[in-house]
Structure 1
Amino acid sequence: MIDIEATVDPATQSALFARVRRHTGIVMADRKWTLLHGRLRRRLQALELASYRDYLAVLDQSAEEVGHFIDLVTTNETSFFRTPRIWDYLWHGFLPAWHAAHPAATLQVWSAAASTGEEAYSAAMLFEEFREQHPAFRYRILGTDIANRVLDVGRAGQYLGRNIDGLRKLRPAMLEKYFRPQDETCTVLPALRAGVSFRPHNLYQPLPDPTRFDLVLLRNVLIYFDEAGQEAVLENVRQSMAERAVLLVGESESLSRLRTGFVYQQPLIYRNGPGAG
């Protein structure tokens, strides 16, 4: 096995951080080198490269390698029904109000950093429960992520381990109702998957979709961008939202110091400002 250098010269390290930012928008500081090295080390071994200088040359010459690079450097931590207050808000506040105001419309939802799909399927389960009480209700969920490998998990809808254990603890009735167990894996039932689709997308670019979304979940992703990057991402997202549509962000995220077209509603919840979008 090829021995990969654990330390690199400052210029090479800076060049790698620059490639992370160029291809994902994520800003990494020097203290993140150990993390980056740990994620890229096996890839260099697979390519039989002993130095990061050699890897930079491959990365700059191969679009296919850029895809591998993005998959490796992005963080994809997620779970079913993460942050209970968000789901309580959707159930008790957003859904009844939206459906009353749009009784014949289809709710358009964007899970804008969908990772492996748990968030999108959590929303779908909640919406199915709501539809049982309001048969005319319809929805469509689009899940996007920059990393193709995690989208493949979402498309397959097969989960096991910690995430399924968490769902079993939080909402066991939903696990039984919307998943089919098989050995150690639980698979999302086709009826639930029918309302959810996945596609790759870089939030640093506008979404190439004419849909204007009524609800966007952009959770636990802004923390990886600097202030300019956050504002750029938020503007790209806002351009795909309907007027007065709702934006949900993560527990440690706030838009208060940013220049955006969003209006604060309550912690983690913002609305696309009047006249915007």
Structure 2
Amino acid sequence: MDNEREVDQATRRAFFDQVRRHTGIAMSERKWTLLEGRLRRRVRELALPGYRDYLHVLEAKPEEVRDFIDLVTTNETSFFRTPRIWEYFAGQFLPRWFETHGGTPLRVWSAAASSGEEAYTVAMLCEEFRERHPAFRYRILATDIGDAILRKAAAAHYQGRSIEGLRQTHPDLLARYFSATDDGFVAAPALRANVTFRKHNLHEAARDIGTMDVTLLRNVLIYFDAAGQQAVLENVRRAMAPDGVLIVGESESLSRFDMGFAFEQPLIYRNEVRP
């Protein structure tokens, strides 16, 4: 099989084009080692002579695109990742929102939800808030581009580093909202009842998403070039309520975009554009 040195620039460029075509993610030459490492296993599974042959498979068999997307997208997350945003969500946003919108359900979008830890983190905080305010209602939509990762998220079964992190930071919530299994923990029905998982490409218009009060778009924009970032942000904003809150990742900022998002505090922006 081709190794890294034998893959010519045209072949590498063809793979970068396939990644952009199917995910919108922009990759450069410096990302080839990462991409090649992910592709190698699939090329071997299909018993192909080399990477060029896999390009032919991608073009000839549309069903292979699903596996390709699963391979090339990054899925790294954890419960309560970036504590400051969860302190904001539970301590500032929820009380303020409930005071002015108490009669309607809160709508939260976990965009690029990966294996679901983010969505279930939101659900835990919402359940805690509902204990103090029984009239509070909420719905969480969690989307991602990969089929395999969505199946994992919907199963709500966690083990290893993911669950150990929750045990160390929030042992009370682990005990309250997860049940032990033979090989890990599974989320309680109370959490799963209000979370819906759906496939969605952020580069496509969010026509079936609804109108969201909070959108978590964390550690996503860093994978796109400037044009791709703007396209994603425009799609996301159209699915947000007036004054809806957008939360981004630690290394992301909207300061260079003039799109109607007003800075509220680090990582947190408010939609000021009316429909």
TM-score band by shorter chain is over 0.9
SS at match of 1:122: helix
Residue 133 of structure 1 aligns with an amino acid whose one-letter code is R
Residue 35 of structure 1 aligns with an amino acid whose one-letter code is L
Question: Which residue does 1:132 correspond to in 2?
Answer: 131
Question: Which residue does 1:12 correspond to in 2?
Answer: 11
5 Å-filtered alignment, 1:48-87, equals 48-87=47-86
SS at match of 1:220: coil
- TM-score normalised by L of structure 1: 0.97
Question: Which residue does 1:37 correspond to in 2?
Answer: 36
Residue 61 of structure 1 aligns with an amino acid whose one-letter code is A
1:225 and 2:192 are equivalent in the alignment? no
For 1:155-175, what per-residue CA distance to the aligned partner results, in whole angstroms no more than 9, with x for missing partners? 100000001000000000000
Question: Which residue does 1:250 correspond to in 2?
Answer: 249
Question: Which residue does 1:157 correspond to in 2?
Answer: 156
C-alpha deviation, 1:122, in angstroms: 0.2
Contact residue 212 and residue 242 of structure 1 kept, 8 A: yes
Question: Which residue does 2:96 correspond to in 1?
Answer: 97
- Of 205-214 and 179-188, deviating more is 205-214
For 1:51-109, what per-residue CA distance to the aligned partner results, in whole angstroms no more than 9, with x for missing partners? 21111111012221111000000001100000000000011110001000011100000
How many residues matched? Answer: 274
Q: Which runs of 5+ in 2 are unaligned?
A: none
Q: Counterparts of 1:9 and 1:154 in 2: how far apart (Å)?
A: 37
- Of 47-56 and 74-83, deviating more is 47-56
Instruction: Give the RMSD, CA atoms, in angstroms.
Output: 1.0
Q: 1:181 to 1:240 in 2, by over 3 A?
A: same
Identity %: 60
Q: Counterparts of 2:54 and 2:128 in 1: how far apart (Å)?
A: 49
Q: Counterparts of 2:49 and 2:207 in 1: how far apart (Å)?
A: 39
Stretches (4+) displaced over 2 A: 3-7
- TM-score normalised by L of structure 2: 0.97
For 1:5-64, what per-residue CA distance to the aligned partner results, in whole angstroms no more than 9, with x for missing partners? 323111111111111111111111101111111000010111111121111111012221
Contact residue 4 and residue 45 of structure 1 kept, 8 A: no
